[in-house]
A = this chain, B = another copy of it.
């Protein structure tokens, strides 16, 4: 366990990148070695050493308007010269797919926030349409990837060179379901329903018809029913087949936050305390999960925190339950999960810089 590590972030201009920057800049272990920010920079900005972070995200500025924090022109040499050891990629999955093998070859450890390396099964990866599916390099890279959900894979993450940081929807559903499925309680024949709702930041920063205020505000819409990209992650991590779950995402008229309402049948009658016990056992030692025992979680209590919140309601017959799982899609659904993974990789306290 070392006391600090030199990190770099590519992709700081997006929403998750901004949150990642904020978290890393206040991380107690990184005070002496603030992260390097790098990305595409035009000639004019290159001449002034990059784009000040405070111009990209004014909310991150301090009152001194100090120009010391800049997004510098990316190059592998830059990372090497600055002694970067851990690289965060908050980049589109195509770019992560291309860059990760290079980064690994250069000896970097990588935490990739995209969907590029999350999926073990080629069938599940099909939705991304990667053009390197036949390549040996891709296969070898995938073989090194660890799915970066510490609550499930803490030990593997500790030794990983490539951590595939989970999708936001996937995190909210897997954390709710995996404990119950792993305990053998769920009647999979009857099918699980995961009805998820996400704020607009999940759709990214590019202005599109669907991220227009006039489309999203005062609205709710379902999309990607049966086809959403995160479905593969659910199946692989929960350990179920496609026929055993219906996953339906919805676009909420709020900036951030995910609430997943999950419906399960049990193979045998349960009590509230038997279910609560399963969750408590599973998440013992998991500081970033909060279990709700009196009320159901709500987006307002999870948003802008680094936690995943889980609660449930049991039917009177003890055979059916509704589980509610909430998190902030930009934090536990992306950037704070990445920091949690960094903590695990470094052997630091899993919640350091996150409470």
Query: Which residues of chain A have a CB within 8 Å of any CB of chain B?
Result: 15, 55, 58-59, 61-65, 189-191, 193, 195, 197, 200-201, 205, 207-209, 211-223, 225-226, 243, 246, 248, 250, 252-255, 257, 259, 261, 263, 265, 283, 286-292, 294-296, 298-305, 307, 313, 315-317, 320, 322, 324, 351, 355
Contacts and interface: CB of A to CB of B under 8 A. Distances in A.
Contact of A246 (B223, B292, B300, B320): B320
B296 A214 contact: no
Nearest to A64: B287
Contact of A305 (B59, B212, B320, B324): B59
Nearest to A286: B63
Nearest to A326: B220
Given A65-B290, A212-B213, A226-B322, A220 B190 contact: no
A180 to B, nearest CB: 16
B191 A222 contact: no
Given A191-B320, A265-B191, A259 B213 contact: no
Nearest to A355: B62
Given A63-B290, A65-B290, A207-B209, 8 more contacts: A15-B214, A59-B304, A197-B220, A200-B217, A213-B217, A218-B254, A220-B259, A225-B322
A195 to B, nearest CB: 4
A233 to B, nearest CB: 19
Q: Which 5 A-B pairs give the minimum distances between C-beta atoms?
A: A207-B207, A221-B298, A58-B301, A219-B300, A195-B195
Contact of A211 (B213, B219, B223, B248): B213
Contacts of A208: 207
Given A213-B212, A263-B193, A316 B226 contact: yes
A217 B189 CA distance: 38
A201 B211 CA distance: 14
Contacts of A200: 213-214, 217
A296 B249 CA distance: 13
Contacts of A307: 63
Nearest to A224: B313
A220 B326 CA distance: 10
A194 B108 CA distance: 48
Contacts of A315: 226, 246
A348 to B, nearest CB: 17
A324 to B, nearest CB: 5
A298 B219 contact: yes
Contact of A220 (B65, B283, B299): B299
